[in-house]
Structure formats: C-alpha cells, structure tokens
Structure 1
Amino acid sequence: MPTQPGAGADTSEDTAVRTAPEAAGTAAPPVALELLVHGVGGTTPALMLDDPRTVCLAGDDTAGIHRRACDADAEEHPETHRDGPVPEAYCWSNLTSGNGSRALWLLLLPFMIANLAHWMRPPSTRRRLGVAYEVLVRLIALTLTVLLVAAACEVALDIVGWQCAGRSGCSRHQTWLGFAAAARGGWWSEPGRRLALAAVAPLALTGLLWWLSRRTWSAYESQRPTGGWTPSAPGTAHRAVAAPGTEAGAEPPALALPGFWYGRHSVARLRTAHTAAALATVSAALCVPALRHDHGRGGSVLAALGWALAGLLALLTAVAVVAAARARRTEDDLDDATDRRATRLLLIGSAVVLAAAVLYSGWHRPGWTSSGRLPAAQTFTTLTVLQGALIAALAVIAGLLHRTPTPLSGPGPTGRREAAEAAASTVAAGPTATSGPTVATDPAVPTGSTGRTSPTEATGSAKPAQAAGLTGPLEPTAAPPRGVALRGLAGPAVALLACALGGVLTGGVAQRCADWLDRGPTPGEDGSPLAGPPAVLMWEASVIPAVLVVLLLCGAAVMVRLRKRERALYAQVEGLYPDEPHHPFRTRQIAGAIARAGLTDSAPLLIAVVCAAAFALGAGAVVGAWTGSGTPGDTAAGAPDVLAACARTAQALGSWLVGAGVVALVALGRRAYRDASARRTVGILWDVGTFWPRAAHPFAPPCYAERAVPDLSWRMASWTQATGGRIILSGHSQGSVLSAAAVWQLDPETRGRVALLTYGCPLDRLYGRWFPAHFGPDRLRALHDDMHAWRNLWRRTDPIGGPVHLDPPHPAGSSGGTAKAAAPVDRGPLLDPVAYGRSLRHPLPAPVLGHSDFQADPAFAEERAALLAELVCSSGRTAPRAGTLPAQGGAQGSSGRSSG
C-alpha cells in the first residue's frame, strides 16, 4: 500500500504546509489533475500516458501512481499547465494478473461464485430478511468447503485407502500402494491405519486453503482504507463522513461506509469456521468407519469412546456452523478485532478432536477388513439435499426482498417529470437563482440524437454532437435493458450454479480417479474390484454430457438469434451513415458488432436456462442414487437398448470430460494471466468476481478492490488537501467501477473537487442489474446528486459498457445546494465506427472500436474539457499551498508493469 499521507513524516512541517497563508491573486491557479484508471485486461503506464518515459510517484509493482517524467513536479510549476490537466495513471493490472501459478485460483471457482451470491441481494428496507439472506449464503458457502474436503476424503480415504488398498485385484497394479495393501498384512495394512495415512491428503488441502486465505488476508483485508477521515488529521481517530446522496436519518450506501473495504474481522472469523468445518469433515471420515465396526461388536470400550468422539464432532460442527452464520461484516466502522481467543480455541479444539480421531481410527482391531464403499457414503446425498434446501430458502427470501419497495435517494419513478421540470426552471432562472454556478447550455446543439445537451465550454460554445458526426438516430433497443436480473433471483441462481459446479467436479474427479486405479471394467460394475464412488457422485458425473448438450442447444439458439438481430440491424446501420455509399460487407460488419455486443444482455436468460437444467439434472441424480440399483448403467439395464447405451456412454464420458475440463480451465487461466488478449476475453468475468470482498467464503480469490479503492481515495484526498486543485477521475471499463467506489469513500469537501468521466462503463449494465443493492439506480443517482459533475460515454458496439440512465437531479440535490443543469449523465451512443468507408478525412477504413479507444473519439476531449471548465468555475480559484506533495518527491522506483 502507498504510505499514508503524513505517516513517517515531520508532523510540524506537515502542519505548516496545511496552514500556510495563501497568496490569492498573486499565485498561479492550482493544477488540475486527470487521474486515469484503466479497465479489463490491464495496460502499462507508458500506454496510458502516451509516453515511454514515466516515473512511479507512489505504490509498487503491484499497483501504483505513475506520471510522465516531465510532469513529476507539475505542482511546483502550475503556470506551465494552464491549458489542461496533468495526466496521472493508476495501474492496478498486477492485482489480477501475474505468473501462471495464480491460475490455480480458478480451481476454486465455486467459492468465488458463492461469494458473488452474497452481493446479489435485492435492495430492501427489511433488515431481518437481509440478514437471513446473508446467513443462508454463508451457510451455502460452508457446505461448499465441506464438499471440497469430502471430495478429497472420497478420493484419498475411500477409493485409495479403503477400496484399492483393500483389494488385491487393485493394489497389485499400484506398486506405490503395496506397503499398505491388505494382502501384505503389515502394520499399515489395517483399515483404520490406512485411513489415517490417507487423511494426509485432505489435511494438506485444508492447510493449503488456510495458508492461501491467511496470506491474502494479510495483503488485502488487513490494509486499512481511509476509514472516513481525511489525510489532514494523521493519527487522529476516524470519524464518519457524509455518505453521498443521504439525508438525515437515511441509510447511507454500503459502499460509502468506512469499513466496507476493510474485511479483516469477518474474513478472519470465516476462515476459522471453514477450517474447523474442514477438519471436522476429515475427523468424521476417520471416525465413522471405526465406530460402525465397534458398534457391530457390541458394548465395547472402543464403541463408547467412539460415541463420545462422535458427540464432540457434532458439537464442534455446530460451533463451526454458528461461527460461520454469525461472521457478519462490520461495514459502518473499521473493525480491527479478530477474536483471537475464540478463533484459537476453535482451531485448537478442532485439532484435538482430529488427533483423537486419528488415534481412535488407528487403534488395533483384530479381524477388521474393508469391503464395499467407505461407510457414511450417503454423506454426499445428504449434502446435496441440504444445499438444495438452503438454495430454496434463499430463493424465497430473495423473492420477498425483491417485492419489497425501496425508497429512492432522489426522484422516484413517479416524480421524475416534476424533478426535471424543476431543474429546467432553475436553469432558466439564471445564475442568481442558485447559491452556486450553473452550467450554461447551447440551444444550437440538437438533443434528439445524443440524449443530452452538451455543456458550453468556458472558452466558447461546444460543438454540436450531430455536426461532429458522433452519434446517429437512436433505435428503440439502442440502450441495454434495465431492471434487476432474474427478478431478484440472481443470488439463488448463482448459488445453485456454484453448488452444481462443485458437485459435478466432485463426481467427475472421483470417477476419474477410480477409473485410473481400476484398469479393468468401470468401477461399480460386474468384474471390477472397486465399488467406485458413492452412487450420487457417479450420477452427478453422468449428467455432465447432458449439461453440455443443454449448453450446445443454448449456444445454437444464441447464434440463430444473433443472425436475426444482424439482419434486423442492416437498415438501421445504413441510416447512421446517410451520406455515404453502402456496401453489404461493411454493413454486415457493423451490424454484427452491435448484435454481438447485445449478447451480454441475454446473460440472465442463459443463466436461467442453465440453472433450470442443473436443478433438474441434479434432482434426477439424487433420485437415481436413492432409488436405483447403483450406477446409471446398472439402473438402465432393463431399459430399451438406446437408453441403456446412452446411460453407459454418459457414465463413461463424464469423468473424462471433467478431467479435460479441469486441464482446460487451468490452461485458460494461465493464458489469461500471461496474455493480455486472452485476459481481455475472460477478464470481465474474473474482474467482476474478484471485485467484491470475501463476505461469504474466505477461500475465494482475494478482492483486489480492497487495495485499489483505498489507493484511489487516499490519492485524491491527499492531493486535493495539499494543492487545493481539482481532479477529473477518468475511469474506463472496470476502472469506472473502481472510480465510483473510490468517490463514495471521499469526504464531502474532497468529493466536491472531483468530477467523474466514465467510458465503457458497466455500472448500470452489469453491476446495476446483478448487484442492485449497491449499484442500483437509486444508489447511482445518489452518487450523482452529491458529485459536482459526471459524464458517461457509451457505444452500441460495446459488449461491456453502456449508459447509466441517470435522470436529471433535483436542483437542491447536489452538495451545498448547487443546482445542476437538467441534463442526463450519458452522452451516446457514440458513432462506431466513426466513418462508414474511405473519405478525405478517413483515407483508411475506420475500425469498429467497441469497448476500447474511447480517447480516439472527439466526444472524449469535449467532455473532458467541459468537466474541467465546470470544476474551475465551481467555487472560485484557490491558490496552491506551499511545499510539495508527500507522494511526489520524485520517482520511487521503476514504472509499474502489467502482465502480458
């Protein structure tokens, strides 16, 4: 993390800098700063600043603030930067990229998906339902940890230690297993000792997960954000700041709370609970087989000890479940407590019970042999049914939350026309009608094509957007659709996908390992020495081909829809370029880009279809395991030949497909981490998944925003405090989300000095629809009302970004009672490509830019200049303070680098 302003510096000198008298009227105006934040796929400081000579002012190779070498001391020479802002780049690409080993995080994809379900809660004022929703998601996440460790136990303890080592037909083909084979009759040949030895594998997995979570927790969650206090008071206790768009008694947005990006306490508690549950799972896998053997022999001392150990396991499991359920985030304060005594006690208790289970299982029992599957094989069926019940309850609560009306921070759906009329009348009244400056509008600028009126620049009137060739006529479906995804059921749907993916991977891996150990018939069938995995896992592996068929059908439907959409757009595309000769290939190229960009908005329908198929197939697997005679092939033995052949084929293909899928997933992850083009393809999904804090699952990939958002908010607060200047925060793609989150964390005074420029922005199109409680229309409107200015550029060819759909705010909605022009934030859709064919102005074919290169559009420079003019006129000019910035003593090392 960059050093906090004032930390380690001479406080007397720092105070002198802040209290130095200002030479108003004699000093040059403060420097304006354009803070650039890149988006998906990452980039380099040299590309962002368009200069190979850059210096790192603050930060490190992971994330840092960079400038051109010639601008390193721009604050000391403000007279040289009168014509525009000083560009400064925040590079955070290495927070989500790096060496190929980080691709192994993709194997924990179900954990990340479950964590997303926590943040997809519909907005509502019913707090008890909201708390119940969060508790259910945390419990679902806990079952995923148990499922992963149980899968490791199934492979290591059941298939290897219990079945293969206990059967000479299998162990004689595995020389590495010979010392523990039952046929050898050695010390390790007893079933309980084989199980204790095999337990090393799931214990190693648990330790690895704990270590990864602990390491990333220290690097991300343990870094303190601004915490609601400004750098002007280093060392003082933090105080709450006014949340954007909130009034007295109103609930502030969660993203504006000081502890939102500080999950130190909750993640520590979750990590302890999940680790305890994982250790309890291993202990149960060791204890249950021995207890069943001892119980069958009558009232022996070992049986009594086994029942006592089982009682301790049940108590430990209950404590872990309660700890996970109560590990709620503390967002309204910086909570440094980690409950060390309670967490240590729980971990020590888990370790003691595990040691007792190892001792109990390894105790000598004459005549004990292993046969069939490991006892308690029905655990997977019970776990699947439990996950289904939790998801059903989550769906009910999500539906109730979605039906609950929520008060909007700003004009509601029924009051937008009145708000727009009031704002328009205020603007028409002139500057004397308000306590602050207003933005003049140019009546010559047409509004029908742009969706907004361009503000007049301080140096002259703005160019009409239509004359500049920036936009074309809007079609009814030009803007992406709005509304909460899946009618508020996005969280349960995503949780179902996480559980289905975990179950399919578990069944496929177990079946694949059994196939590898058994070199004869398929495990579980006649002639095989192995009984194979539990029936439910074999059924879950067998549904993989059916899931792939559903996905292929969905893909075919999408392609058909895409072609229809392209043909429907032909006439509209040609209408965007009325004065140019048309060519079918060029028209098809542009129409195809627009149609493909619209596929993003079909994601809710695709996820709904996949979830329905996953639920039906999962329920069929459970029913088949309970009522069938074993494997899918055996169950379909009496069916017609076609069905029997399909069942056997699905069972044989399932494990192979899972193995191939895991290899492909890791290969794709390695390529995405090391190759920029591949990272841009899949990067948006990964960046959305790892943007959110680990509120439900501590073993999910770390949240990069817990580093990036404090970096940005600290930089803006410290720079404006030291210089009195203004900032244009320029965010592209995922960088626009980070920028908005950082503005939410600023104090009102600093927020009033910041203007936001976003482009390729997914705030409404993705985040607003899938995470409405945090980025819904009311939250974005509240943020806009409390900011000085916000402009958003978007294209119809962009598959990620879109408009933010903000209505004109109340005249008194902005901070300080300043009225704003009744103009939406959005400018667009921008024309893409800027020219249809070759011309004198465009001698070469103009490319379809889509999600990239917004700076190449003339609208970008116009909006940036307009924002700068508004900032300069907002509250007069404040002279720069004496001294230099704490973070600008020259270069602190080499410039940051991004992978790929």
Structure 2
Amino acid sequence: MVESSAQKVVSGAPQAGGPRVLELRIHGIKNTAPHDLIGCRADQIEPVGDGDALSGFWTEKDPPAGQPTRVEAYSWGNLARTSPSSSFLKGVARVLGQSFWFLVVPFALANAAYWARRLPAPGTGARPLAAGPGAGTVRLFALLLSLVFTTTFCAVAFGLLAVECFPSTGPGQPTAMCRQLPEALDFLTGWSRGQRLALAALVPVAAILAVFVTAKLATVRNLAPVRVSWNEEPPQGAAQASDGGPFLASPGLWTRPHVSTVTGRAHIAACLALVCILLLSDSMGALWRRDCQTPLRMLGSDCLRDLGTAIGRDGLAAPFLALSVLLLLATMVTVAFFYPEVRAPEEDAAGTKWSNALWTGGAALVLLTIGQLILVPTPDAVPSLPFAGTWVASLLLLTALVVLAVAGLFMRSGRGFQLAIAGASVSSAVLILWAGGLWDDSVLWIPAAITAVFIAFYVGLQTRDGGTDEGWRGGGPAVFMFAAILTAHFLSSALVLGLRKLLQWPMDKELPARPEELWRGAGGSEVDLHDVLDVPSVYALTGGLLLVGIVLALVGFVPACSWLILKGGLTPMQPPAPAGTGPPPVQPPSYFSDIDVDPLSGAESPGSERRNLTYRRRRLSALTQRGEAAFGLLTLLIWGAAVLAIAASALRNGSGATRYRVLLKGPMDVIQEDFAGWGIVLAATVILAFMVLNAATSKEERPLAILWDVMCFLPNAAHPFGAPSYSNRVVPELARRINDWLEAPSPGPAPETGEHHHTVLLSAHSLGAVVAIAALFHLKASKPGLDFKRIRLLTYGVQLRPYFGRFFPELFGPAVLGTWPTRGPGLFSADPWKAARLNEAPGNGSEGNGPEGLTLVKLLRAGQEAETPVWRNIWRRSDFLGFPACAHTPHGNHLDVYGVETEPGHSQFVVATHGNYTATTTYAMVRQDMLEHWPARGLRP
C-alpha cells in the first residue's frame, strides 16, 4: 500500500458535474495494490479522506474525461498482515515477535470452531446475540490451549533447564550441569532444586505476558478509528433491525469487542495458577519416599500416610496448592459460563472486579510460591527425580482437549452433546488406567464400544438431519478443534524437543553423545549421568506420530495421484468410439465438457495447444479443490494419533505386561526414541528459517500472510489472545464510505429527473467479497432506512458458496445470501463437484425467492423485479479459489457469469488463475450491464 503521508489527500464527496456512481473495488487475499485495482501506475493515485498506512481509500489523480463512474480502491491488507511488534522491535527481536504469531495459530483455529457452531437467530433468546449451545465448551477448549502453551514453557523451564540440566551427584559432591548452558549460569550448581525452579518460573510468566502484550497491541491497531465510530450507537429502531434477519445484520456486531477483558484476565489467572500448581506439587512430591514417586503407588495407604508428614514439613506449600487449584477451577467456570452472548457487555463493572480479583490472586500466588521455594528449599533427591508435574499436566490436557473435540462432532446437531462429553471422558479414563497397569486387557471393550456407539449415532444424525450442505457434514467445530490440537502440540513438541536436541548436541563428537560430552562439573562423582535428557513423553510421541503421518502421506500421495490420472480420476470422460456409420455421439456433460481437445488424445487443431494449457490448468485447480474432503481424513488421523499418544504416554509408569500393552509399547518406543526428535527439529528449523527470511525481506508482514487474511476475518470470540480480527475496523470503515457517498448532499440535480441520487457499485475480489457482504449487512443494521436499491454488488474469484457458506452457515450460508446450497467436494472423482452439480436445486432459493427473512439478494433487490442485476459473480474453472456463488449450472442461475480464462496484458498465451479479473473483457461487459440496467429515477450513468 502506498503511504498516505507522501500524497495529497482528496475529499471523498461527490463533485459538481462529476460521476454519480462510485465503483468501489476491494482486494482479496492477494492484497492487490491500490493502483493495480484501479488500473494505473503507482504515481497516478492519491488517497481519499484520512486513511493511513493500514487501510484506506485511493482514487486516480486525473481520471479520463467523461468517465461515467468514480473508481476507488479500498486497501485493507496491511491490517491483516502487519505485525505490531515490528514497530518497536528490530533485527533479531522482530523474529521473536513473529514467532509469537505462530504460537497463536491454535487460538485462531479455536475461534473458527466457535463460529462454526450452530448460531441461534438474533433476538430469539433472552440476549440480542445469544451465544447458543457449545459456546462455553469452545471457550473452555480455548482456555485449555492457553494451559498447553503454559505447560510447554514450564516443561522447558522447569523440566529441562532447572531439573534435568542440574542432576544431583550426591551429598557433598558438586552438582553437574549441561555443558551447553553458558558458564554465566554455573552459580546455579550451588542452588537447591526449589531455588532453581523459583528462578525458572520467570520463563513461563514472561511468555504469558508476551503473548498478552502482542495480542493487545494488535487489537488496539485493528480497532476502528474515530472517523468510523458513527454507528457504535445504532439509531432509534435499529435494535429491531435484526429480528428475522441473519446474524450479520445484528446491530453493533462489528463495533463492540467479542472477547472481554474479563476473559483475558481469566486466561492469565489460569496460566499463573497452573504454574503454581506445577511448582508446589513438585515441592511436596519430592519429600515423599522414593517408592511413592510413581503414580500407582501414590494412592497406597502407606504413601497417603506420608502425605500428612510431607504437608507438615513443607511449610505453606499445601495451602498454596489448594488455593491454586481453586483459582484454576474458578477461571474455568468464568470462561465457560460467565457470558451468554457472543459479544462482550458494554458495561461490566462486576465482571471487571471479578477478573481483577482473579489475575491479582494468580499473581499473588506466584509470588508466594516463589517465596516458599526460596525460603523452604526443596532438597535434591539422589538420584535426581524428573519434574513430574509437566508429565501429568501434558497428558491430562491432551486428554481433555480430545474429549471436547469429540463432543464438537455433535455441537451443531444439538443432540447427544452432553452424552458425547461423558462417553469420551469415560473412554479416555479407562484407556489411561489400562495403560497405567491398573486393569487388564478385558477393559478395552469399554472404549471400543463407546467409539462404535459414537460412530453409529453420528451417522444416524446425518441420515436424519441432513448436513450434506454443511462443512464436514456438520462436524466443522470438531475439525477446527482437532486442527488446533495438532498445531498446538506440534509447536509444543518443536519447542521442547528442539531445546533438548540443542542441549544434547555434542561439542566435538558424533552422535550418540557420551555423558562427558553433555555434562560439566561432575567433580569425579561416581553417579551414572545419563546421556539423554528426559522430557514428557506426550511431546515426543506427538512429534513422532506427526512425522510418521507425514511420511505415510507422502508415500501414499504419489500412488494416489498416479491412480487418479491413469484410471480416469482426473481425466474427463471421452465419447465412445462410433459403432456404425451414423454421426458420433455427443460427449457426455462433465466439469470439463467444454474442452475441445484432450491433451491425452493426441488430437491437433488450430488453437489446440492453448486449449490443452487451459485443460491442464483446470485439472490442477480441480486437484487443489479437494481440501475439505482431505482435511476430513486428516482429522481422523489426528484423532487416532492423539488416542495413541495418550495411551502410550500413560504406559511409561505402568506395570504389568499384557498382550496389547506390549503390542502398543514396542512401536511407540521406536517412534518416541527414533522419530520424534529429528522430525520435529527439522520442521521447527524450516519454520524458523521462514520467519527469519520473512522478517529480513518484508519486515512488516506476519508469517503465512494469506493464512492470516482468512483466519483473522472472524471476530475473535473464543480466545482473548488469538489473532485479532481486522473486520472490527474494515467492516465499519467500508460501510461508512458507502453511506457517505449515498447520503452526501448532491452538488446538483440529475439532468434527467432533477433528483439528487448517488449510487455505489461494490466490486470485490475473493475475500474482499466476504468483507463487502458483511459491510452491507452492517449498513442494514446501522442504517435500516437506507435505500439499498442504489447499491450493486459485483464479485469475482470468491469462495462464498463452497467454503464460507458451508463452514459457517449462519454467517454466509445460502439462507443468508439467497443462493443455492451445495455439497462438499469429492476426493476421487474427475470433477470434485460432480455430486454437488448433480444435486443442485434452488432449495433455499436463488435470487432471494426461497428462505424467509432477510437475505443479501432481497436486501439489494428491495422490491425490484427479478431480472434486475443486483448481484453478479464472475468465476472460471482455472481459478483454484474461484467458484460460482449460486450454482454451477446456468439454468435458472442469473447470478454467475463464466469469465475468460486468458490472462490479459501478456504478449503470450497465459491461462488466468485467481487474479487480474478487473482487466478482462468479461469484467467490463458485466460491469457495463449492471450500470446500464440500474433502475429509473435518473440513476443510469
């Protein structure tokens, strides 16, 4: 985006004798520059109004005389891609700042799960925007992700640095330390275990605060500035505008935060409470007898008697531990049940006081715990025991996340939701206890039977309730939650295993390292120092299973693609050979039926090479459009891998060998010991290199910029530290510009009628169409009396129907847009949308004639005739991200227009893909048609 400070700022008001039509072009995920949107050079544009470097409107300085429209470009991409940390962190610090954006990816996926639930219609409950069923579950899931984040840094700080790197070598002997640690830390060898843990507590606390500060800065920069705050208080009567309308037409949806400071402080309090629980449990557990250190013995009668002795000898550790547990439970209840609405309340004095008490209590407990560890130091056991708290916490958190994600399968249906949570909890508990050696193999029928009931019940729900028109047959919340589990544990494993690999790396010898290469300061001790640092098995198992899954996927990818190509999966049907002397049969219709020449047939004709290039591009686009089906299979693999990781992690402290335990333990040991470290370290190295390269070249952009564009659109309603939504600024800002043009005083009457009218043609590409539609509904909520007949919508390269409409039906589904529903893509057919095409029907109504209540088409039509082109959409099959907005078929579909597939502006033939729609002849034709068919009353340009 061109910096506005170097340009003359022009007024956005209509000029006397100037165009009455404003063509407002909005870019998509490609973040097209304003001058490219307008179609001129960068030095030929100037900003409109008071935009800044993050977002703003631009127009041509000297447009051609007699141009019927005023063309403006709205550039908003820097809001999604600019990292706030880059304004004050330089060099290496910028890389650290960008790394935190990777850490919040799971939080953004949890937010997507929140909006994938079945949202109740606005105004149908006691609240204007009731959160609906499952909201508390997803918010609790988001809190558990914060605890996973905290546990990861505790595993690094407590388990590796404070304990594993300082093993005790016996009374009177110097304590050894990791050779890779800097010599400046040698003084820690004289500290006790508890004192080192007290110092290490600063690491997770600093990480929590860093994520909070990063999210807070981004949220501030993405808030709507004063110039677009005109609609924070809806006018009289607007509060009822959403009754019977879609969720997007709710007043104040974009101008109020969705996650309150109460929730954010509760997350901080929960993380601080977990830090205290881990520290205090280690302090108490280290005082028990050696034979009571295993989970199976801790509940024995003799060990329980020792518990009372430990409480008496360890000062205030037990009361502090009880308070920490109570604080953690209080934060869970607060996050899950405190707010029954998707938005934060405007005034919440009671909630503010409560949240202040939570995080203040958490901070006080951390200080008291550190003081307890310093004043009553935990003695070093001989040999040193591992830091068991992170082992238990990581296992329990993964189990709880999987339980909630499984329940997400039933979140949209609303049936069996509580039973799913109970069943998944019982199944997980039985699996852990079996792996721990408390029960024999006969109990495995319990989780097997529960899983079978889950599957049967879920399939039955799909048969009765449908769901084919929803993403993953209504399992969208579960899919997003499992994806959050995958990314969270991948990042955790990368951090923990990567640091362990660094600490174990020999200075001058090949692997495997010998103990003398890993330690220094042993002082001639006879204690056998291990050559491997111990970490919680969940991280190693998760990393190893992830690597195995990637290898299997790569191994199976080539044969699968070969089969698809050679067996006709990606090749259109060819007409059969003529059987007689009659005319050859017509080629059966298919997704590729208008391709004249198949490159595999060897036919030649004028232009055949161009058709072949187009054919190949279409085939490649069709291959990439199977993401929903492929991601559904990935979810099943994540589920299975998580269950294996839970069971195998519990095996570590188990006793007794049974057939299935031995069968599980062997492969899991190989995965944990041989695959985990190098695979995760390699992946983490690639990510780090990408961040460094991104910081060195683009400075202002976040890593994986396109991913952020998509994830950051949805309001952040689940996790307070997730990726901030740019829509809180973009939607009101765009709505304000439309309103300003439509309601601006006319400098003169229209020559045909003498009336004062202005019109707006919204031209939106890709994700820009989602932004434009949200702005239109926001206008309806804020300005219910606005004449929407003076607005037209032209979209191109959009994902409204197959992606946004299926994944978030209550926001962008067919009942909201007034378009036809669609099924998801197939995985193995030549046309991934073959089943969708065969089942296409105006079930919810094309052009606004189907569903009751307000739809986008009805909003724009506002009583006009059905032939009025209020919305047109351009698409092409060579676009891997461009789809029809209404239907594939042209029959009864007055919305979609098929675009040319030749890239304009090239001297050679280039097949067009996802960009450059506005320069095509199709765009010019559709644009002209929409302008010429504007209603009467002098609106025709």
* TM-score for both structures, normalised by structure 1: 0.73
- The alpha-carbon deviation at position 826 of structure 1 amounts to 2.7
Q: In the alignment, what sits opposite 1:581?
A: 605
The equivalent position to 2:26 in structure 1, one of 37, 44, 69, is: 37
The equivalent position to 1:57 in structure 2, one of 40, 48, 53, is: 48
The equivalent position to 1:319 in structure 2, one of 326, 330, 338, is: 330
SS of structure 2 residue aligned to 1:90: strand
Q: 1:143 to 1:68 in 2, by over 3 A?
A: same
Q: In 2, distance between residues paired with 1:399 and 1:170?
A: 58
Question: Which one is further off, 643-652 or 351-360?
Answer: 643-652
Identity within the alignment, %: 22
The equivalent position to 1:648 in structure 2, one of 653, 670, 677, is: 670
Give the conservation status (yes or no) of the 8 Å contact 1:691–1:703.
Answer: yes
Give the conservation status (yes or no) of the 8 Å contact 2:266–2:334.
Answer: yes
What's the RMSD between the two structures over aligned residues? Answer: 4.2
Q: 1:534 to 1:844 in 2, by over 3 A?
A: closer
1:500 to 2:497 alignment: no
Q: In the alignment, what sits opposite 2:623?
A: 599
Letter in 1 for 2:103: L
- The alpha-carbon deviation at position 179 of structure 1 amounts to 4.5
- The alpha-carbon deviation at position 590 of structure 1 amounts to 1.8
- The alpha-carbon deviation at position 662 of structure 1 amounts to 2.5
Q: In 2, distance between residues paired with 1:861 and 1:482?
A: 36
Q: In 2, distance between residues paired with 1:654 and 1:145?
A: 23
1:259 to 2:248 alignment: no
User: Any idea what the Cα deviations from partners look like across 1:362-417, whole Å, max 9, x if unmatched?
Assistant: 223474437221132211111111111111222222343799xxxxxxxxxxxxxx
SS of structure 1 residue aligned to 2:798: coil
Give the conservation status (yes or no) of the 8 Å contact 1:117–1:494.
Answer: yes
Q: In 2, distance between residues paired with 1:393 and 1:522?
A: 45
Q: 1:278 to 1:834 in 2, by over 3 A?
A: closer
Give the conservation status (yes or no) of the 8 Å contact 1:151–1:510.
Answer: yes
Counterparts of 1:138-537 in structure 2, within 5 Å, are 138-167=139-168, 171=177, 173-176=179-182, 179=185, 184=189, 186=190, 189-221=191-223, 229=231, 238-239=235-236, 241=238, 249-250=243-244, 252-264=245-257, 266-293=259-286, 296=306, 298=309, 301=312, 303=314, 305-326=316-337, 328=339, 330=341, 335=346, 337=348, 339-365=351-377, 367-369=379-381, 371-376=384-389, 377-400=391-414, 483-518=469-504, 519=506, 528=530, 532-537=534-539
Give the conservation status (yes or no) of the 8 Å contact 2:538–2:649.
Answer: yes
1:868 to 2:916 alignment: no
- The alpha-carbon deviation at position 771 of structure 1 amounts to 1.3
**May I ask how many residue pairs the two structures share in their alignment?**
735
Q: 1:597 to 1:342 in 2, by over 3 A?
A: same
The equivalent position to 1:95 in structure 2, one of 79, 97, 101, is: 79
Q: In 1, distance between residues paired with 2:337 and 2:72?
A: 43
Structure 2 alignment gaps of length 5 or more? 1-11, 87-93, 170-174, 289-305, 418-466, 519-527, 575-586, 598-602, 746-756, 819-854, 862-869
Q: 1:859 to 1:580 in 2, by over 3 A?
A: farther
Letter in 2 for 1:591: Y
Q: 1:81 to 1:333 in 2, by over 3 A?
A: farther
Q: In 1, distance between residues paired with 2:933 and 2:685?
A: 53
Q: In the alignment, what sits opposite 1:885?
A: none
Letter in 2 for 1:272: R
Q: 1:498 to 1:534 in 2, by over 3 A?
A: same
- The alpha-carbon deviation at position 657 of structure 1 amounts to 2.1
Give the conservation status (yes or no) of the 8 Å contact 1:270–1:323.
Answer: yes
Question: Which one is further off, 281-290 or 129-138?
Answer: 129-138
Q: 1:348 to 1:540 in 2, by over 3 A?
A: same
Q: 1:201 to 1:583 in 2, by over 3 A?
A: same
1:67 to 2:55 alignment: no
Q: In the alignment, what sits opposite 1:729?
A: 762
The structure whose RCO (Cα within 8 Å, separation 6+) is larger is 1
Letter in 1 for 2:47: C
Q: In the alignment, what sits opposite 2:872?
A: 791
Q: 1:265 to 1:121 in 2, by over 3 A?
A: closer
Letter in 2 for 1:200: L
User: Any idea what the Cα deviations from partners look like across 1:410-469, whole Å, max 9, x if unmatched?
Assistant: xxxxxxxxxxxxxxxxxxxxxxxxxxxxxxxxxxxxxxxxxxxxxxxxxxxxxxxxxxxx
The equivalent position to 1:740 in structure 2, one of 765, 769, 773, is: 773
Q: In 2, distance between residues paired with 1:383 and 1:202?
A: 17
Give the conservation status (yes or no) of the 8 Å contact 1:725–1:878.
Answer: no
Letter in 2 for 1:732: H
Q: In 2, distance between residues paired with 1:111 and 1:131?
A: 20
- The alpha-carbon deviation at position 201 of structure 1 amounts to 1.1
Give the conservation status (yes or no) of the 8 Å contact 2:258–2:716.
Answer: no
Q: In the alignment, what sits opposite 2:114?
A: 118
* TM-score for both structures, normalised by structure 2: 0.70
User: Any idea what the Cα deviations from partners look like across 1:554-580, whole Å, max 9, x if unmatched?
Assistant: 633663366344432787758445899
Q: In the alignment, what sits opposite 1:692?
A: 714
SS of structure 1 residue aligned to 2:32: coil
SS of structure 2 residue aligned to 1:743: helix
Counterparts of 1:878-897 in structure 2, within 5 Å, are none
- The alpha-carbon deviation at position 652 of structure 1 amounts to 3.1
Q: 1:713 to 1:340 in 2, by over 3 A?
A: same
Q: In 2, distance between residues paired with 1:392 and 1:653?
A: 27
Q: In 1, distance between residues paired with 2:514 and 2:276?
A: 26
Give the conservation status (yes or no) of the 8 Å contact 1:273–1:320.
Answer: yes
Give the conservation status (yes or no) of the 8 Å contact 1:122–1:401.
Answer: no
1:620 to 2:644 alignment: yes
Q: 1:398 to 1:127 in 2, by over 3 A?
A: farther
Letter in 1 for 2:204: P
Q: In the alignment, what sits opposite 1:86?
A: 70
Give the conservation status (yes or no) of the 8 Å contact 1:122–1:402.
Answer: no
- The alpha-carbon deviation at position 594 of structure 1 amounts to 1.2
Letter in 1 for 2:571: R
Q: In the alignment, what sits opposite 2:554?
A: 552
Q: 1:494 to 1:229 in 2, by over 3 A?
A: closer
Letter in 2 for 1:324: V
Give the conservation status (yes or no) of the 8 Å contact 1:398–1:488.
Answer: yes
Q: In 2, distance between residues paired with 1:106 and 1:595?
A: 33
SS of structure 1 residue aligned to 2:735: helix
Structure 1 alignment gaps of length 5 or more? 1-13, 72-79, 231-235, 404-480, 809-820, 836-841, 880-900
- The alpha-carbon deviation at position 200 of structure 1 amounts to 1.2
User: Any idea what the Cα deviations from partners look like across 1:813-860, whole Å, max 9, x if unmatched?
Assistant: xxxxxxxx996453333342389xxxxxx9954321121121233221
The equivalent position to 1:715 in structure 2, one of 715, 720, 737, is: 737
1:590 to 2:614 alignment: yes
Q: 1:109 to 1:177 in 2, by over 3 A?
A: farther
User: Any idea what the Cα deviations from partners look like across 1:521-574, whole Å, max 9, x if unmatched?
Assistant: 589999725551123332222212212124325633663366344432787758
Q: 1:682 to 1:796 in 2, by over 3 A?
A: farther
SS of structure 2 residue aligned to 1:400: coil
1:826 to 2:895 alignment: yes
Q: In the alignment, what sits opposite 2:296?
A: none
- The alpha-carbon deviation at position 768 of structure 1 amounts to 0.8
Q: 1:720 to 1:673 in 2, by over 3 A?
A: farther
Q: In 2, distance between residues paired with 1:500 and 1:843?
A: 43
